[in-house]
Amino acid sequence: MITGYKKFKFDKIKYLDGVKSLLLKELKKISKNKKINFANYHTHIKNEQHQLIQWKLAKYFREKKLHIVCFEGIRGFLYRYFGQSILIQKKPFLRIARPFMPEDNIGLHKDTIYGQSPYEMSIHIPLMNLGKKSCLKFVKNSHLINDKKIEFIKSKTFVKKGSKQHKLGKPYEPKKIKPNKYNEKPLPLKYGEFVFFSPAIIHGQEMNLDKNSTRFSFDVRVSSKFFPVEFNLKKHNGSYIEFSKSPIDILAKRYFDNQ
């Protein structure tokens, strides 16, 4: 973990399997298409339909709190890293990156530059195997680079603050980091694996270069209730809900309730 990111495996894959099949069922329903799956998504969905479908699917994901279901499968892992009073992002991001569509990606970035605390860790979970061409890239030890010294590329965006695109996880003021400057390396993942990483790590992808497969993944922020983060000030996609509570936390609260 010293390099700022690490690959892990689900302890109990059945929770991820359950979420995956619910999402696939919903995708078939929304698109009214029985032949569609995650990988062949781009061959069935026209560009003009894409945004609405992603919106509906992301909404379904959030309303059913599928990230909480999924996190059941890594509860032991979470306890080891955060203790038992765990907060998770209320509205996680469901990402869909079609082949050769740069607008489906947010490029290389550091989430601390967007205001995320280094105490708010991220978990990236793919819903399929991701090879070298379709996976995200990460820069080892980039949490040690001063955020103020990072080199950006100038980029324009039409994403408006509070818009659907913004709520789907695209920044309205993108601060894209120059590719090939910091030695980013692809991190292929098998289904059932996930990446646990610091928001200070340079990560992302310019474009999904796998012509045969759309990438479906989601990412969730996780923290401890006792980490020095101003959770009450978080808004938009940054707010948290409780995932679990330590027995001591419960005991102490009960004491204070009676004083």
Q: Which is nearer to Fe ion, 22 or 113 (CB)?
A: 113
Q: Which of 111, 87, 122, 109 is nearest to 196 (CA)?
A: 122
- In the shown chain, the binding pattern of residues 63 to 102 toward Fe ion, with x for contact by CB under 5 A and - for none, equals ----------------------------------------
Stretch that binds Fe ion, among 89-97, 103-111, 173-181, 184-192 (CB under 5 A): 103-111
Q: How far is the CB of 50 from Fe ion (least distance, A)?
A: 21
The distance of closest approach from Cβ of residue 29 to Fe ion in the complex, given in angstroms and rounded to an integer, is 29
Whose Cβ is closer to Fe ion: residue 72's or residue 111's? 111
**Shortest Cβ distance from residue 123 to Fe ion (Å)?**
11
| Residue with smallest beta-carbon separation from Fe ion | 111
Binding part of the chain for Fe ion, among 42-50, 108-116, 123-131, 157-165 by CB under 5 A, reads 108-116
Q: Does 120 bind Fe ion (CB under 5 A)?
A: no
Among residues 18 and 119, whose Cβ is nearest to Fe ion? 119
For the bound state, the minimum distance from the C-beta of residue 6 to Fe ion, rounded and expressed in Å, comes to 16
Q: Which is nearer to Fe ion, 51 or 237 (CB)?
A: 237
Among 111, 120, 184, 210, binds Fe ion (CB under 5 A): 111
In angstroms, give the least distance from the CB of 136 to Fe ion: 9
**Reduced 3-state DSSP string for the chain:** CCCCEEEEECCCHHHHHHHHHHHHHHHHHHHCCCCCCCCCHHHHCCHHHHHHHHHHHHHHHHHCCHHHHHHHHHHHHHHHHHCCCEEEECCCEEEEECECCHHHCCCCECHHHHCCCCCCEEEEEECCCECCCCCCEECCCHHHCCHHHCCECCCCCCCCCCCHHHHCCCCCCCCCECCCCCCCEECCECECEEEEECCCCCEECCCECCCCCCEEEEEEEEEECCCCCCHHHCCHHHCEEEEECCHHHHHHHHHHHCC
Q: Cβ 38 to Fe ion, closest distance in Å? A: 20
Which residues in this chain contact Fe ion in the complex, by CB under 5 A?
A: 111
